[in-house]
Amino acid sequence: MIGRLTGRLVDEEADGTLLVDVNGVGYELLAPLGTVGRAANEGMLTLHVHTHVREDAFQLFGFATTEDRLVFRTLLGISGVGPKTAVGVLSALSSADLSRAVAQSDLKTLTSVPGIGKKTAERLCLELRDKLLPVTGATTREGKKAPTSGGGKRDLLLSALTRMGYKEPQAQKAVQSLSDRLEAEELGVLIRESLAILSQ
């Protein structure tokens, strides 16, 4: 099993697929949006890896922190949540935001994530409540209520862009330019459109 890789980023695709060169060997990994910005250090990338083995596939998933990897593995334990859905969740929400949404049964935030319907969101709240709190340190409703992202695609999009390394004023400008399409488009489409705007 591969647990960690340190190398040079060769390519990054829109779907989160990374190609990392480690001493001449190219490793292809799928990572949540924003991972590269948080894992890069002086031109090198250090990723904490989850190796996913099936009869028909051998896939690597990369994360900026061991906490993100642990939350990913916890998500995989939920019925109906596969690796790509788990990556999608961590692309839209930080580990802390996910834990707060679960602790507060914030279905609006959870169902705003692509691939998460109401039933899956309810299952996440039920099954993850006690599992995520020790990982992220979030509090339940009975404890001190931590600030949330507020839910909705606007906040999810803004959070995703800032986690990718963009300054908040830049991210807000890109989000504002897409304000008339926020409810109609999927989050993945909005992120790609925002990145196109930010690269101009």
Q: Using one digit for the tens of pLDDT, what is the confidence trace for 121-149?
A: 998 988 887 777 544 444 444 444 433 44
pLDDT band at 63 (very low <50, low <70, confident <90, very high): very high
Q: DSSP letter at 184?
A: T
The runs of H, that is alpha helices, within 112-167 are 118-136, 152-163
pLDDT band at 50 (very low <50, low <70, confident <90, very high): very high
Structure tokens at 140: 């339940």
Mean pLDDT estimate for the chain: 82
The answer to whether 159 touches 97, Cβ cutoff 8 Å, is yes
In this prediction, residue 47 carries a pLDDT of 95
Q: Could you give the percent of the chain with pLDDT greater than 90?
A: 25
- Supply the angle between the helices 66-76 and 83-92 in degrees, to the nearest 10: 130
pLDDT band at 6 (very low <50, low <70, confident <90, very high): very high
The answer to whether 158 touches 119, Cβ cutoff 8 Å, is no
Average pLDDT over residues 62-85: 90
In this prediction, residue 128 carries a pLDDT of 87
Structure tokens at 193: 């459109």
Collapsed DSSP state (helix, strand, coil) of residue 30: strand
Domains and CATH numbers, the chain: 4-64 (2.40.50.140), 67-136 (1.10.150.20), 152-198 (1.10.8)
In this prediction, residue 7 carries a pLDDT of 95
In this prediction, residue 152 carries a pLDDT of 65
> Tokens 């390394």 map to which residue?
165
pTM for the full predicted model: 0.67
> If we measure between CA atoms, which residue out of 147, 18, 16 comes closest to residue 89?
16
For 86-96, what is each residue's pLDDT tens digit? 999 998 888 88
Reported as type and span, the H/E element at residue 41 is: strand 40-41
